[in-house]
A and B are shown apart, each in its own frame.
Chain A
């Protein structure tokens, strides 16, 4: 915010001399006992809690805040994620187009689209991938809102890509129509990205959450396409009857992830690496 021309704040004139002059007066170190005395004094001090719920913020303010948060998260997610999503999704569309020339029920886009989104989502949250966590702490926005904005941004981007790819496929092939094509990837993509999101918040480890999500996806896909006795006892999660279950599970995972993200004590820990 300091001297930011976007805020209409011009930089002040050079002031190195003043800075150096003032810098000669340093404050003494704070006595640690002073903090203890303060906390003791505050322990029994009167606390005036709100008697009524805080007044809801105006809609215009909330909309502007949401826009700013999403814009800020766009920068944090990074260009590689966008480019990788675009390329892999394009690859999925191309392979699906090739498969449509043959007599097969396999739709590669329905397998690839959930993978693309889940990998992206897994890397949305975590210590290594988020140097901006400190910024979050300093901003008057809850981590829940930041995560939700980030999730919506990436999922929305992949959704547009997959919808565009599906429209192209429906227009360029005779065997694929738009609605069944979207139905084939939309719910699985939602579920798998919700799973990756929940795991990344749970473990605070993008790589681990990605690996577990991919393992789950492989099992689901293999079970749907093959009938080997080893996997036969598992339920087929990609039938029209089970898709609503996946959708409900996805909603539950997102809610659980957001709930976990608000419990800061989990992230105050000291790790050894």
Chain B
């Protein structure tokens, strides 16, 4: 029987090592967070795997570039997801995506899902309903919902990631759930 002896070095320690120039630390951080980060960005891009991979790569490149700004011993994971969230936001705010923007900051900013039509994972109607429901949420509610339900971050971790108070996250979560339920009714969703 194989037994794995747990590593006892935290993400925060690796973050600090990276700050001192230990480039090997980034390998461990990639090992720990790359897949989950792609999952997060996959949802944030409306199911575009290739774009999610590109944005994840950009996230880690920025980790290296801005590691001096990481404040040990603040949670590294929250810092990482904060970078990824900013990159996803910037992507949709960029000139290429300007046509998706709305004048109302609370209005939905649906990711363009035309790029994902070839993805067999999102062909099914029920999956498309989820994507549309999430896309119909305001960006800040969508981020909160995705971080909470898909990435399994706690409310405190989401607050740290998005740099807003706990109460705001609770409110966004509650409003987001309400809107999702409306969308679920529209598609006659039955669990």
Q: A: which residues have CB within 8 A of B?
A: 1-3, 7-10, 12-13, 15-22, 24-28, 30-31, 34-35, 37-39, 41-43, 45-51, 54, 57, 127, 133-134, 136-143, 204, 261, 264, 267-273
Q: B: which residues have CB within 8 A of A?
A: 1-13, 16, 18-21, 23, 26-27, 30-31, 34-35, 38-39, 42-43, 47, 49, 53, 56-57, 60-61, 64-68, 72-76, 119, 121-122, 126-127, 129-131, 133-134, 145, 149-150, 154-157, 166, 170, 173-174, 177, 180-181, 184, 189, 191
Partner of A49, one of B21, B75, B170, B174: B21
The reply to whether A34 and B38 contact each other, CB–CB distance below 8 Å, is: yes
Partner of A18, one of B4, B149, B154: B149
Of the A-B pairs whose beta carbons lie under 8 Å apart in the complex, a sample of 27, sorted by A's number, is: A3-B155, A10-B170, A18-B149, A19-B149, A21-B191, A25-B131, A28-B121, A30-B34, A34-B34, A37-B57, A38-B56, A39-B27, A41-B60, A47-B23, A48-B68, A49-B20, A49-B67, A51-B68, A134-B6, A136-B8, A138-B11, A139-B10, A141-B73, A142-B13, A143-B8, A267-B7, A270-B4
Give chain A residues whose Cβ lies under 8 Å from the Cβ of B7.
Answer: 137, 264, 267-268
Give chain B residues whose Cβ lies under 8 Å from the Cβ of A57.
Answer: 73
- Give the number of residue pairs across the A-B interface with Cβ within 8 Å: 183
Give chain A residues whose Cβ lies under 8 Å from the Cβ of B26.
Answer: 42
Partner of A42, one of B16, B30, B72, B177: B30
Knowing that A19-B149, A41-B57, A268-B7 touch, tell me 18 more A-B residue pairs with CB under 8 angstroms. Answer: A1-B157, A13-B174, A18-B180, A21-B130, A24-B129, A27-B43, A28-B121, A35-B35, A42-B64, A46-B64, A47-B67, A133-B8, A140-B12, A140-B73, A140-B75, A264-B8, A270-B4, A271-B2
Partner of A271, one of B5, B119, B157: B5
The reply to whether B157 and A21 contact each other, CB–CB distance below 8 Å, is: no
Partner of B3, one of A10, A138, A273: A273
Q: How far is the CA of A139 from the CA of B76 in the complex (A)?
A: 10
Q: How far is the CB of B16 from chain A (nearest CB, A)?
A: 7
Partner of A137, one of B9, B18, B30: B9
Give chain A residues whose Cβ lies under 8 Å from the Cβ of B11.
Answer: 138, 140
Chain B contact surface mostly = helix
Most buried by A among B6, B131, B157: B6
Give chain A residues whose Cβ lies under 8 Å from the Cβ of B16.
Answer: 54
Q: How far is the CA of A32 from the CA of B4 in the complex (A)?
A: 22
Q: How far is the CB of A21 from chain B (nearest CB, A)?
A: 5
The reply to whether A18 and B130 contact each other, CB–CB distance below 8 Å, is: no
Give chain A residues whose Cβ lies under 8 Å from the Cβ of B157.
Answer: 1
Known contacts: A50-B19, A137-B6, A264-B7. The answer to whether A27 contacts B191 by CB under 8 A is no
The reply to whether B19 and A2 contact each other, CB–CB distance below 8 Å, is: no
Q: How far is the CA of A1 from the CA of B13 in the complex (A)?
A: 20
Give chain A residues whose Cβ lies under 8 Å from the Cβ of B191.
Answer: 16-17, 20-21
The reply to whether B166 and A38 contact each other, CB–CB distance below 8 Å, is: no
Q: How far is the CB of A137 from chain B (nearest CB, A)?
A: 6
Q: How far is the CB of A34 from chain B (nearest CB, A)?
A: 5
Known contacts: A28-B42, A30-B35, A38-B60. The answer to whether A21 contacts B8 by CB under 8 A is no
